[in-house]
Structure 1
Amino acid sequence: RIMSIAVFFLAIGILLGSGWIGTTCLDEWQIGVLGLAGGFTLFQAGSGKISLDYFFNKNQFIQQENNWNSISIKKYRPYFVGFSFFILFVTLFTNQVFHGGVYGTLHNKSVKPKVEISNLKQYQNKVSFDVMRIEGADVYGSFLIQIDFHNHQNEIIESLDMQELSNLDKQQISNYYVSKVTPHKHSLVLPLGAKANLNFDISDKIHKVVLTDISGLQWEQTITNL
């Protein structure tokens, strides 16, 4: 039963942290809800004859299982039923939030990449910002093929194409996590969960930056300091 509690909280972490991931099916969501239901079921039922608990108890190494079984299940039945409905609610709620499977239009956050831009700043001739891919296919990167820097008149004052991005100096990329933003043959690749700080030398004052993915999707962010 102690292990069932560990399984339950591990499943909660998987479900809430990665329950939306799944390119072709509801991978992590299924793992999460199955862990919740399975952990709670094991907590109620206890261990069977092929468990270490049974072996230790049979050989009188421990006597805890009998103490638990001597408790009246009827006394705790309302709590078990109530928690079962709670798990049902979590299952339906997370499915709706992550996938829209209960009502409305189905959606899959793993189909299209989504890039988050933050901390855009310019100091003298140095422009820097953080970029992170927070959604999209877990086995496939987002391929940035263009970065445009605009002024206050919305004119492009600096543009980096796919060739320039594929040849970025390593000193211009500072990764935060194990999953890394890296230049590849024809683009700058952002794997799922990767976050990095990018910096560029630009003399003119900028107002915003626009990132373009190979799919045509664009993300933009206005500067946070003047």
Structure 2
Amino acid sequence: MSVSSVATKEAVPVSAPSSPNADIWTLLGLAMLGVRLVQGWVYWAGATRRLIYSTGKLDPGSSGYMAHKMNEAIPGAIFGSGDALSALLHHPTLLHVSIIIFTLVELLVGLGLIFGFMTRFFGLISVGLAVSLMLMFGWLGSTCVDEWTMASNSFAMGLGIMIAGGGSWWSLDHWVAKKWPRLARRSWFPWLFSGPLPVVSVTRFAQLFGILAIVFAVGFYGYLRGAVFSPLVARTNPKHHHLALTKPVLSSSGVLTLPAYVDAGPDTQGAYVIQVSVVDEHGQALETWDGKALSELPKTGFANEYKYSVFKPTQYGFVGVLGARATISLPHQGTLKLAPGTYQAVFQGIDGKQWKTHVAVGA
């Protein structure tokens, strides 16, 4: 064996086998290029729709203001997200600032992924956005599981981008590494930007991310849609409206006051009520507010908790959109005198559906 061959062997760093060569990372970046560009465009498009093309989404006075969508998400938002959304909706300034910050984060993530700048960092942030999307809106979708699909795909795509990085094509990370090689040699650079990572770390992260992605998708599918190997039974029904009627108060003269909450149903239309009745234990109607009487209720008859999803009179009664919560007051219409006892308040929907609650009249 020659001296030169021995020297050559001794010159090979011990750590070389654990550091993949640049060609592998170039291929990984190319393989994920379409995923990175699409993921970036999705977030870029979401932000620019609000900032440039549909500015009403950021205008508190517009019917398209993003807060309306957030209000609609409350009934099915999970793990405390509904409480957080409700708190924000009660503080308009904080709500507006939060919407602006969320939009700017989406914009930066979109640009970062499209141009391959700080690719792994923005891949991580995109995973966080996917989680927030699932927690708030994952249950929505009256015709298909679109919000769950969006969040699940974004979560898995973000994890894949974190593994692959930006590669060497259409990647500012690659340009930065060549322009400032000393910076690229810093230990933290490949973790935030792009470039080779230790094989052991990549293997472990890839296995972990794969498990996380399937658990995230299937777990929330089961939690939100009530099924994995069986027909869908939604946790919060996105197809049919439900009106929760609680703590009713009925006076002996027939004045009915009670909180109402549209806690399920599609976000594309509201729950229309065309008749309200007070019935006795035999099912006989003692007082009825028909569509005309309901449509003529004053604004003070609806004490809405939120200003975005509300109850309001319509031509044939009144309507509450998804997420609306209000105390409704129905005045008596004659000389009704109710004896002490238990009665029922019955709300009749325009589609024939009824919502009922027991209510007592004291002595």
State the match for 1:201 in structure 2: 331
Q: Which structure shows the bigger proportion of residues in strand conformation? A: 1
Q: Does residue 1:219 correspond to 2:352, yes or no?
A: no
In 2, the alpha carbon distance for the partners of 1:85 and 1:66 equals 23
**Structure 2 SS opposite 1:183:** strand
**Structure 2 SS opposite 1:179:** coil
1:128-160 CA-to-partner distances (Å, cap 9, x unmatched) read 222222222221111111122345665533221
Q: Does residue 1:50 correspond to 2:170, yes or no?
A: yes
Distance 1:6 1:122, change over 3 A: farther
How far the C-alpha of 1:223 sits from its partner, in A, is: 4.0
Structure with higher Rg: it is 2
In 2, the alpha carbon distance for the partners of 1:95 and 1:118 equals 30
Distance 1:70 1:96, change over 3 A: closer
In 2, the alpha carbon distance for the partners of 1:144 and 1:102 equals 35
Ranges in structure 1 where 5+ consecutive residues have no aligned partner: none
State the match for 1:159 in structure 2: 288
State the match for 2:128 in structure 1: 9
1:170-191 CA-to-partner distances (Å, cap 9, x unmatched) read 0111222212211111121121
**Structure 2 SS opposite 1:192:** coil
Overall identity of the aligned pairs, in %: 22
Q: Which structure shows the bigger proportion of residues in helix conformation? A: 2
How far the C-alpha of 1:46 sits from its partner, in A, is: 2.1
Alignment-mate amino acid for residue 211 of structure 1: F
Q: CA RMSD in A?
A: 3.1
Contact kept, 8 Å, 2:121 with 2:191, in 1: the verdict is: no
User: 5 Å matches for 1:163-202?
Assistant: 163-177=292-306, 178-202=308-332
Alignment-mate amino acid for residue 345 of structure 2: V
In 2, the alpha carbon distance for the partners of 1:112 and 1:23 equals 9
Alignment-mate amino acid for residue 15 of structure 1: M
**Structure 1 SS opposite 2:210:** helix
In 2, the alpha carbon distance for the partners of 1:103 and 1:119 equals 39
How far the C-alpha of 1:70 sits from its partner, in A, is: 5.1
Ranges in structure 2 where 5+ consecutive residues have no aligned partner: 1-119
Alignment-mate amino acid for residue 81 of structure 1: Q
Q: 218, 230, 236: which is aligned to 1:104?
A: 230
State the match for 2:141 in structure 1: 22
State the match for 2:241 in structure 1: 113
**Structure 1 SS opposite 2:160:** helix
**Structure 2 SS opposite 1:119:** coil
**Structure 2 SS opposite 1:105:** coil
Q: TM-score, normalised by structure 1?
A: 0.82
Distance 1:164 1:87, change over 3 A: same
Q: Does residue 1:34 correspond to 2:162, yes or no?
A: no
State the match for 1:147 in structure 2: 276
Q: 73, 80, 101: which is aligned to 2:199?
A: 73
Contact kept, 8 Å, 1:119 with 1:224, in 2: the verdict is: no
In 1, the alpha carbon distance for the partners of 2:200 and 2:136 equals 35
Distance 1:123 1:159, change over 3 A: closer
In 1, the alpha carbon distance for the partners of 2:321 and 2:356 equals 19
1:187-224 CA-to-partner distances (Å, cap 9, x unmatched) read 21121222222122347466442222111111222349
Contact kept, 8 Å, 2:271 with 2:320, in 1: the verdict is: yes
